[in-house]
Amino acid sequence: MFVSKNLGVNEKNHLTIGGVDAVELAEQYGTPLYVMDEDLIRENCRLYRDSVQEFYGGHGRVLYASKAFCCKAICKVVSEEGLGVDVVSAGELHTALSAGVPAEHICFHGNNKPADEIEFGILSGVGRFVVDNPDELALLDSLAGKAGRRVKILLRITPGTDAHTHDFIKTGQIDSKFGMAIENGLAMEFTKAAYRMKNLDVCGIHCHIGSQIFELEPFTYTARVMLSFMADVRRECGETMSELNLGGGFGIKYVEGDQPVAYHRYLEQVAKEIDAVCAELDFPRPFIYLEPGRSIVGSAGVTLYTVGSVKEIPGIRTYVSVDGGMTDNPRYALYQAKYEVLVANRAGDDADWRVTVAGRCCESGDLIGENLPIQQVNSGDYLAVLATGAYNYSMSSNYNRVQKPAVVFLKGGKSRVAVRRESLDDILKNDLI
Ligand SMILES: Cc1ncc(COP(=O)(O)O)c(C=O)c1O
Ligand SMILES: N[C@@H](CCCC[NH3+])C(=O)O
């Protein structure tokens, strides 16, 4: 019935998340509230980990892309499940380290890492740096030399894959701010330069073709292109790279009609393609990294709001305004992202209304969605927006000085606060007069 399998309706006609009554959560913790089902997150982690074991014979590792949802609690959970963590900033790195993630299981990404953040990564002993471009290569080499450390790197390569997703979340095509492209020869120049660096050990290459992808072919095609490039490097440089990071990007179900492929199927097909290409090219099968973000946490999240006003503009539309909006979920404003929305305290009723759900900010584009089917809704009701576990909290803002909501984790039918709600003093904490 719902987009996520952990959701249901109880005898009070309330939405349940992992068996917990959503209305009780809203009343206990207040709204807006991010709710994350830790049991489902752990199940997703195990699914990936077991698939890597099954299809790659353990010769691989799953790194959780923490940009999807980053706080100490999630870093601890994924690390306990045996995943490493991908970070793109000192903030994400600090969070992962503070949560106890071993530095060698952290991979440091980013297309323009500042020098002080690179130094922080080197001194922390992160397992791999993914180097984006020649300027960063030279900077990393000199900072590694200064610190007296050798640094293991992967090179960010643009495979030229056109994945069918929103333009803003595509990254594998030649015109991208990320990485160096194979088709214009720059990737090979970049690789040769990397092997000349004194303080860097080139372990392999990395790519990421985009996000919220539903097809298998872009992934298998990309694996082929990347392995062929590794074989070209062996021919041109006499070096055999041993690691291949294929990024993340596996889609999830947000609304009826979305049809994601089961993740173990992606991994199985990609593993088959890797085996086939390695046999064709007589290339040793590399250690494989995967970096799922959305597919680990997206479906595990629900955002709860309280409805303020319900305003019908006859002949035009009905606005249902909630106590959050683009500050906690900017994805409709950014990508016209679609969500399933329901009245948490009337969850089993027919969704026979059509409404626009609006946020509270001074911005006409501050919407959660338009023309949404929903149950009858009144001021004071609780609204639930489903599948908000990825790129909601992590992209939240304090626009209009709105405080960020709390994050509550659910485990075994019990709830706990994983991130406190921001206070008014938190809003002022860096202000000076
Ligand atoms: C380099 C890199 N790895 C992994 C991811 C995670 O992607 P997703 O959340 O779609 O799995 C991203 C984001 O798109 C990314 O840029
Ligand atoms: N933030 C985007 C996806 C970009 C992922 C990072 N490369 C989203 O909400 O869908």
The last residue of a domain, from among 292, 317, 352? 292
| Ligand 2 midpoint to CA 252 (Å) | 12
The last residue of a domain, from among 292, 311, 332? 292
* pLDDT over 70, % of the chain: 97
Distance in angstroms (rounded) separating the CA atoms of residues 46 and 62: 10
The answer on pLDDT for 167 being more than 70 is no
| Average pLDDT over every residue of 391-420 | 98
Our answer on whether the CB atom of 170 is closer than 6 Å to any ligand 2 atom is: no
Q: Is residue 345 part of a domain?
A: yes
| Average pLDDT over every residue of 54-80 | 96
Q: Are residues 120 and 252 in the same domain?
A: yes
Q: Is residue 424 part of a domain?
A: yes
The last residue of a domain, from among 260, 292, 324? 292
The answer on pLDDT for 66 being more than 60 is yes
Q: Is residue 181 part of a domain?
A: yes
Reference 115, options 90, 98, 132, 133; nearest CA is 90
User: How many CB atoms are closer than 10 A to CB 37?
Assistant: 25
Q: Are residues 172 and 286 in the same domain?
A: yes
- What CATH number does the domain containing 355 carry? 2.40.37.10
Distance in angstroms (rounded) separating the CA atoms of residues 92 and 66: 7
Our answer on whether the CB atom of 305 is closer than 6 Å to any ligand 2 atom is: no
Our answer on whether the CB atom of 331 is closer than 6 Å to any ligand 2 atom is: yes
Q: Are residues 277 and 374 in the same domain?
A: no
- Per-residue pLDDT, 333: 97
For 83-138, write each residue's pLDDT tens digit. 999 999 999 999 999 999 999 999 999 999 999 999 999 999 999 999 999 999 99
Our answer on whether the CB atom of 249 is closer than 6 Å to any ligand 1 atom is: yes
- Per-residue pLDDT, 168: 52
Q: Which ligand is nearest to the CA of 211?
A: 1
Q: Which ligand is nearest to the CA of 86?
A: 1
Q: Are residues 171 and 309 in the same domain?
A: no
Please report where in the chains the tokens 């691989």 appear, as a residue.
Answer: 60
Cβ proximity of 244 and 238 under 8 Å? no
Helices (H) and strands (E) in the chain, counts: 12, 21
Our answer on whether the CB atom of 391 is closer than 6 Å to any ligand 2 atom is: yes
- Residue whose CA lies nearest to ligand 1 atom number 13: 211
Beta carbons within 8 Å of 264's beta carbon, 6+ residues apart: 47, 50, 51, 54, 55
- What CATH number does the domain containing 207 carry? 3.20.20.10
Q: Are residues 252 and 320 in the same domain?
A: no
Our answer on whether the CB atom of 389 is closer than 6 Å to any ligand 1 atom is: no
Mutate to test the pocket of ligand 1, among 109, 178, 208 (most ligand atoms within 8 A of CB): 208
Mutate to test the pocket of ligand 1, among 294, 299, 393 (most ligand atoms within 8 A of CB): 294
Q: Are residues 151 and 207 in the same domain?
A: yes
Q: Is residue 82 part of a domain?
A: no
Reference 379, options 305, 304, 308; nearest CA is 308
Lowest mean pLDDT among 165-169, 199-203, 308-312: 165-169
Count: domains in the chain: 2
Q: Are residues 287 and 308 in the same domain?
A: no
- Per-residue pLDDT, 22: 98
- Per-residue pLDDT, 170: 57
Q: Is 422 marked within a binding site? A: no
Q: Which residues pair with 7 in a beta bridge?
A: 17
The answer on pLDDT for 250 being more than 90 is yes
Q: Are residues 322 and 424 in the same domain?
A: yes
143-152, 157-166, 264-273 — most confident range: 143-152
Which helix (H) or strand (E) segment holds residue 288: the answer is: strand 287-290
The length of the chain, given as a count of residues: 433
Q: Is residue 79 part of a domain?
A: no
Q: Is residue 281 part of a domain?
A: yes
Nearest atom in ligand 2 to the alpha carbon of residue 395 is 1
| Ligand 1 midpoint to CA 105 (Å) | 17
Q: Are residues 273 and 305 in the same domain?
A: no
Reference 367, options 342, 398, 336; nearest CA is 336
Q: Is residue 244 part of a domain?
A: yes
For 362-378, write each residue's pLDDT tens digit. 999 999 999 999 999 99
Q: For all residues of the chain together, what is the average pLDDT?
A: 96
Domain residues for 345?
7-37+298-428
Distance in angstroms (rounded) separating the CA atoms of residues 332 and 389: 15
| Ligand 2 midpoint to CA 394 (Å) | 10
Please report where in the chains the tokens 């790659």 appear, as a residue.
Answer: 56
Contacts by 219-225 with C-beta closer than 8 Å and gap 24+?
A: 219/246, 219/249, 219/266, 219/269, 219/270, 220/269, 220/270, 220/272, 220/273, 221/161, 222/159, 222/161, 222/172, 222/246, 223/270, 223/273, 223/274, 223/277, 224/273, 224/277, 225/159, 225/160, 225/161, 225/182
Our answer on whether the CB atom of 295 is closer than 6 Å to any ligand 1 atom is: yes
For 374-385, write each residue's pLDDT tens digit. 999 999 999 999
Give the rounded distance of the alpha carbon of 167 from its chain centre: 17
Q: Which ligand is nearest to the CA of 291?
A: 1
Give 196: exposed, middle or buried? Use CB within 10 Å, 0-12, 13-18, 19+: exposed
Q: Are residues 254 and 334 in the same domain?
A: no
The answer on pLDDT for 163 being more than 90 is no
For 44-59, write each residue's pLDDT tens digit. 999 999 999 999 988 9
- Residue whose CA lies nearest to ligand 2 atom number 4: 169
- Per-residue pLDDT, 161: 73
| Ligand 1 midpoint to CA 295 (Å) | 10
Q: Which ligand is nearest to the CA of 169?
A: 2
Which helix (H) or strand (E) segment holds residue 151: the answer is: strand 151-158
pTM over 0.80: yes
Which residues belong to the active site?
362
Beta carbons within 8 Å of 37's beta carbon, 6+ residues apart: 6, 17, 18, 300, 301, 409, 410
Q: Are residues 178 and 120 in the same domain?
A: yes
Q: In the structure encoding, which two tokens stand for residue 307, read together?
A: 């409805």
Q: Is 391 marked within a binding site? A: yes
- Per-residue pLDDT, 174: 78
Distance in angstroms (rounded) separating the CA atoms of residues 323 and 382: 10
- Per-residue pLDDT, 55: 94
The answer on pLDDT for 176 being more than 90 is no
Q: Is residue 61 part of a domain?
A: no
Compute the radius of gyration of the chain from its Cα atoms. Answer: 23
Q: In the structure encoding, which two tokens stand for residue 234, read together?
A: 């062996």
| Ligand 2 midpoint to CA 234 (Å) | 34
Q: Are residues 263 and 328 in the same domain?
A: no
Lowest mean pLDDT among 193-197, 211-215, 228-232, 422-426: 211-215
The answer on pLDDT for 268 being more than 70 is yes
